[in-house]
Amino acid sequence: MTVENEAAEFFRSIQDSICAGLEEEDGTARFRTDAWERPGGGGGLTRVLVDGTVFEKAGVNTSTVHGDLQPEFAAHLPGDGLTFFAAGVSLVLHPKSPMVPTVHANFRCIRRGAALWFGGGADLTPYYPQREDAVHFHRVWKERCDRHDRDFYNRFKKWCDEYFYLPHRREARGVGGIFFDHLMRDPVRDLAFVRDLGEGFLPAYRPIVQRRRGDPFGERERQFQLLRRGRYVEFNLLHDRGTTFGLKTDGRVESILMSLPPLVRWEYDAQFAPGTPEAALGDWLKPQDWLGEARDQAVKT
């Protein structure tokens, strides 16, 4: 079996395990499953859970597609020719409670001609952040990265901070995580790395849900959550590479846009009183050294 087919098989299996874990965490709702075919080659499996006890909307997608790229889009990708193969798993979870962060993760394998590479990552978007949650999320990804390369976490954490950034708002989308693309070392080693990351998603996120799902909130917090979700929509439609790739390769639109929240609001020139949690959120939306890596490095040097 080729590496890319092994990757596609893993993405389908991790979709099953993540969905099972999320259903267990939610306790009431179940995922709806839609199989789809792509004109030109391949298809995917979209699973969406709505109106659960914990999750207002949760989407976990897999796709395995192949065919020919548009020449103008191919020019921006590694490799040669127009023939491509792409497999991946992508998820976005929008909890009901504003005290529980939204989370995103995706992992992918792409071949264009002779070039094969992996990409992906995970990032956390809280509305009312708690430091222990951000530290836990980053610690899990650092531990997973360190198993494969001691430089990966610092590199991919920095890349995440730079990628999940809204330049027109001058703020990060959340408290970051890891992000990488065009990883082209040995394909077998890279698949092992991506496999380890995929299996790390539930350990990175579920403990945060369990800590925050019972925290009290009211209408003020709910309205702030809906307002902040607007920033999430802005990023996904303007800057997200996965959205662009899916649309440029004739993917299923409903699956590509499943990442969008079910309810959202935009308010003109929203202002929040100094000293409130809402006003303080801006202090979190900038690159931060959650694990003290910079201090540790300074001591070593």
Q: Where are the domains of the chain?
A: 3-300
DSSP state, residue 80: S
Per-residue confidence in pLDDT tens, the chain, 301 aa: 899 999 999 999 999 999 999 999 999 999 999 999 988 899 999 999 999 999 999 999 999 999 888 888 878 788 888 889 999 999 999 999 999 999 999 999 999 999 999 999 999 999 999 999 999 999 999 999 999 999 999 999 999 999 999 999 999 999 999 999 999 999 999 999 999 999 999 999 999 999 999 999 999 999 999 999 998 889 888 887 778 777 777 677 877 777 889 999 999 989 999 999 999 999 999 999 999 854 344 333 2
> What is the widest separation between alpha-carbon atoms in the chain?
59
At 162 the three-state DSSP class reads: helix
The pTM score is: 0.92
At 75 the three-state DSSP class reads: coil
What is the tens place of the pLDDT at every residue in 22-81? 999 999 999 999 999 988 899 999 999 999 999 999 999 999 999 888 888 878 788 888
Catalytic residue IDs:
104
Strand order in the sheet with 176-183: 32-37, 42-50, 55-68, 83-95, 102-112, 115-125, 176-183
**Superfamily holding 3-300:** Coproporphyrinogen III oxidase, aerobic (3.40.1500.10)
Please enumerate in sequence order all residues whose Cβ is within 8 A of that of 262, keeping only pairs 6 or more positions apart, or say none: 50, 56, 57, 94
- Report yes or no: 192 and 145 within 8 Å, Cβ to Cβ: no
